[in-house]
């Protein structure tokens, strides 16, 4: 549903990059998200979208290939970011619909989520470490580190 993805951006393409950015601050009293964060959240998200747009407009960089994106909001909360990052591995998880039936008795038809080839983002080291471990577990990108983090400072 649209409500499930209220804190996300989806841009179709042949190759899909994931993005994790603190677009909102941490929420109060049980809500995961608070106020918008312009500098550290929106600006970084826009930088990724701008870069994808420039690459897609240049016919010499990736001829006949379009980059897409699935960008999620971490809401400046490590646990929420971890929950959101599971969206990136959904395409790799096999679904068993044998015990589920539609109202008319037919088996369900699952839509295949985007296969993410790598993830850009996570502004906090704690978030980057947790998300990188999840992505590595599901081999989102097995040739090297699955997460390119633009702002983390920890060496761990």
Q: Which pLDDT band holds residue 155 (cuts at 50, 70, 90)?
A: very low
Using one digit for the tens of pLDDT, what is the confidence trace for 112-146?
A: 666 778 888 766 677 777 777 777 776 655 334 44
Transcribe 73-104 into DSSP letters.
E-TT-HHHHHHHHGGGGGGGSPP--TT---TT
Full-model pTM: 0.72
Which DSSP string corresponds to 13-42?
A: -SEEEEEEE--EEEPSTT-SEEEE-IIIII
pLDDT tens-digit series, residues 32-88: 788 888 887 888 899 999 999 999 999 999 999 999 999 989 888 888 888 888 877
CATH of domain 8-94+106-148: 3.40.50.2300
CA distance 8 to 14: 19
Q: Which token pair is 90?
A: 């959904």
């Amino acid at each position: 549903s649209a409500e499930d993805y209220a804190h996300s951006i989806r841009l179709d393409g042949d190759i899909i990059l994931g993005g994790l950015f603190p677009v909102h601050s941490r929420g109060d009293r049980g809500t995961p998200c608070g106020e918008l964060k312009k500098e550290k959240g929106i600006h970084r998200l826009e930088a990724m979208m701008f870069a994808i747009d420039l690459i897609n407009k240049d016919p010499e960089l990736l001829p006949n290939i379009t980059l897409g994106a699935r960008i999620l909001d971490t809401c400046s909360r490590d646990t929420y970011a971890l929950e959101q990052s599971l969206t990136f591995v959904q395409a790799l998880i096999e679904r068993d619909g044998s015990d589920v039936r539609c109202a008319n008795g037919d088996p369900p038809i699952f839509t295949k989520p985007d296969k993410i080839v790598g993830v850009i983002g996570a502004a906090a080291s704690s978030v980057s470490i947790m998300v990188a471990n999840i992505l590595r577990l599901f081999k989102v990108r097995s040739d090297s580190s699955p997460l390119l983090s633009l702002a983390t400072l920890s060496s761990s």
